[in-house]
Amino acid sequence: MTQPVDTLFAGALVVTMDESERLFEDGSVAIRDGEIVAVGRRADLAHLESRETVDAAGKLLMPGLVNSHVHMADSLFRSLVEDLPLEPWLERLWISERAFVTHDNVELGARLALVEMIRCGTTTALDMFWFPEAGADAAVAAGFRLLTGPIFFDFEGPDGIAKEDRVSVGEAWLDKYADQPLIIPCVQPHNHITVSPEGMQAARRMADDAGVLFHTHCSETSTEVRQTQERFGRTPVGHLDDLGILDGPAVLAHCVHLTDDDFSRLQRTGAAAIHNPLSNLKLGSGIAPVARLLEEGVPVIVGTDGPVSSNDLDMWTAMRFAGLLQRGANQDPLLTPARDVVRMVTSVGAEALGLGDSIGRITEGRRADMILIDLDRPHLTPMFDPYAHLVYAVGRDDVRSVMIDGRFVMRDRALPTLDEETVLADVGLLAEKIRAHAATIGTA
């Protein structure tokens, strides 16, 4: 190579998650123009000329985490609604959402979520929320890779978009963000109860026309399954499949309650299941059959869900729950080995979201979405198995630096693209109003 590279990470334990899942104990990774151009042993990359060399000794370098299901701006309502099952919980939450969900507040909530996600080492998220342009603009400003896009919802929502306008508004949205390198548009109806079969099919067509991913909630609670059976005579997965929704790329958040037939349909269609263990447990929805999904070859990826139900956006905690729950629930300690869980939030996560060619692995030709983890911590000492550490011991504050698309969005814990202090202060002010409003409806 004659041209110098931009950044050389030198001397890290590199967990590549590449096709052969290579580890380099004293490894280096070189970046040029936001792309990974070389990966290997430090000695083998020592000849590279670099504008900047980052000493990564004592650190673990791995692909950034993919949070496959989040509602960013729900961060504004963190811990406002507790101890309710999903359906009444949503009804209660929606009262506050209707009062406070404006474009500007969504952008503020998105910035709060971005601060939190970047601090925890998340480099890509799939966000579903009102005013998706507010979340997208916040992500672009923060240098964060975000999948988001038009939502569908048949009832009155805080965005004031009439049901019959959602297709045209959505198409305009997809056009607007089609060329933003960090925004990956998708189409996301809330679910098949709040959106009619016709609405679901219109959303699917919109996704197909634009060549983008389809994202919806599916089979989260037993109540939802019962309602779906009553209304449509089918399970949620069966309903979506029969509507043709699963004929194109689709990711289904939750998949907690599945029949044998549902497993077959998921397997046949290639839809991915997004496991959200934190919210599924907290809302009493249940424990998703992740072990069986994996056994049947259904891709399982992981999300935190929104911070009203989760109650934070910590992917390390979500990974730990994903890695431990199946073992306990099935009394089988061989289920979900740590490396499988790391795949769910890196290589497999990226593939299921349609980003397998660009992110999710540290390998030549991919975009440089990577995180540096400080191993010099008491809870990470000693280390005999790096994958076990990543799933069972690493935490958000062990993440030292975060790079997205070749650009540092966290460097030694500092956030160059976000004004954290102002974000926290602004949210604090808004929270006073949310609290006062909640008091008027007798719940806070």
Residues 218-277 contacting a second copy, CB under 8 A: 222, 277
Q: Is the peptide bond before 382 cis (omega within 30 degrees of 0)?
A: yes
Q: Which of 4, 49, 79, 416 binds a second copy (CB under 8 A)?
A: 79
Q: Could you tell me the smallest distance in angstroms from the CB atom of residue 281 to a second copy?
A: 3
For 272-284, b/e burial (b = at least 16 CB within 10 A) is: bbbbbbbbbbbbe
82 binds a second copy (CB under 8 A): yes
428 binds a second copy (CB under 8 A): yes
Q: Which is nearer to a second copy, 85 or 181 (CB)?
A: 85
**Rounded CA separation 264/406 (Å):** 40
Stretch that binds a second copy, among 10-18, 39-47, 224-232, 387-395 (CB under 8 A): 387-395
202 binds a second copy (CB under 8 A): no
Q: Could you tell me the smallest distance in angstroms from the CB atom of residue 270 to a second copy?
A: 27
434 binds a second copy (CB under 8 A): yes
Judge residue 287's burial from the number of C-beta atoms within 10 Å of its C-beta, 0-12 exposed, 13-18 middle, 19 or more buried.
middle
Looking at residues 91 to 150 of the shown chain, list those that interact with a second copy (rule: CB under 8 A): 112, 115-116, 119-120
Q: Which of 246, 335, 341, 409 binds a second copy (CB under 8 A)?
A: 335
Q: By CB under 8 A, how many residues form the interface with a second copy?
A: 76
177 binds a second copy (CB under 8 A): no
Compute φ and ψ for 173, nearest 5 degrees: -60, -50
Q: Which is nearer to a second copy, 33 or 376 (CB)?
A: 376
69 binds a second copy (CB under 8 A): no
Looking at residues 22 to 51 of the shown chain, list those that interact with a second copy (rule: CB under 8 A): none
Cα end-to-end span (Å), the chain: 62
Q: Which is nearer to a second copy, 382 or 442 (CB)?
A: 382
What pairs with residue 241 in β-bridges?
none
Q: Could you tell me the smallest distance in angstroms from the CB atom of residue 161 to a second copy?
A: 27
In this structure, are residues 272 and 298 in contact, taking their beta carbons and an 8 Å threshold? yes
In this structure, are residues 39 and 16 in contact, taking their beta carbons and an 8 Å threshold? yes
In this structure, are residues 367 and 359 in contact, taking their beta carbons and an 8 Å threshold? yes
In 3D space, the residue among 65, 175, 141 whose CA is nearest the CA of residue 403 turns out to be 65
65 binds a second copy (CB under 8 A): no
Q: Which of 379, 416, 419, 436 binds a second copy (CB under 8 A)?
A: 379
Vertex 87, ends 303 and 329: CA angle to 5°? 50
In 3D space, the residue among 228, 131, 215, 147 whose CA is nearest the CA of residue 180 turns out to be 147
Q: Which is nearer to a second copy, 354 or 395 (CB)?
A: 395
334 binds a second copy (CB under 8 A): yes
Q: Which is nearer to a second copy, 6 or 127 (CB)?
A: 127
**Rounded CA separation 69/274 (Å):** 7
Q: Which is nearer to a second copy, 167 or 444 (CB)?
A: 444
Q: Could you tell me the smallest distance in angstroms from the CB atom of residue 436 to a second copy?
A: 11
Q: Could you tell me the smallest distance in angstroms from the CB atom of residue 111 to a second copy?
A: 10
Q: Which of 36, 56, 161, 338 binds a second copy (CB under 8 A)?
A: 338
**Binding string, residues 344-373; x marks residues near a second copy by CB under 8 A:** ------------------------------
Query: Distances from the Cα of 75 to the Cαs of 152, 356, 391, 436, in angstroms?
Result: 21, 28, 24, 17
The DSSP line for 85-105 is: -HHHHHHHHHHHHHHH--HHH
15 binds a second copy (CB under 8 A): no
The DSSP line for 182-244 is: TEEEEEEES-TTTS-HHHHHHHHHHHHHHT-EEEEEES--HHHHHHHHHHHSS-HHHHHHHTT
Q: Is the peptide bond before 311 cis (omega within 30 degrees of 0)?
A: yes
For 368-377, b/e burial (b = at least 16 CB within 10 A) is: bbbbbbbbee
Looking at residues 272 to 311 of the shown chain, list those that interact with a second copy (rule: CB under 8 A): 277-278, 280-287, 307, 310-311
Q: Which is nearer to a second copy, 6 or 224 (CB)?
A: 224
52 binds a second copy (CB under 8 A): no
Q: Which of 388, 411, 417, 437 binds a second copy (CB under 8 A)?
A: 388
**Rounded CA separation 40/363 (Å):** 9
Judge residue 165's burial from the number of C-beta atoms within 10 Å of its C-beta, 0-12 exposed, 13-18 middle, 19 or more buried.
exposed
78 binds a second copy (CB under 8 A): yes
Q: Could you tell me the smallest distance in angstroms from the CB atom of residue 326 to a second copy?
A: 9
Q: Could you tell me the smallest distance in angstroms from the CB atom of residue 106 to a second copy?
A: 15
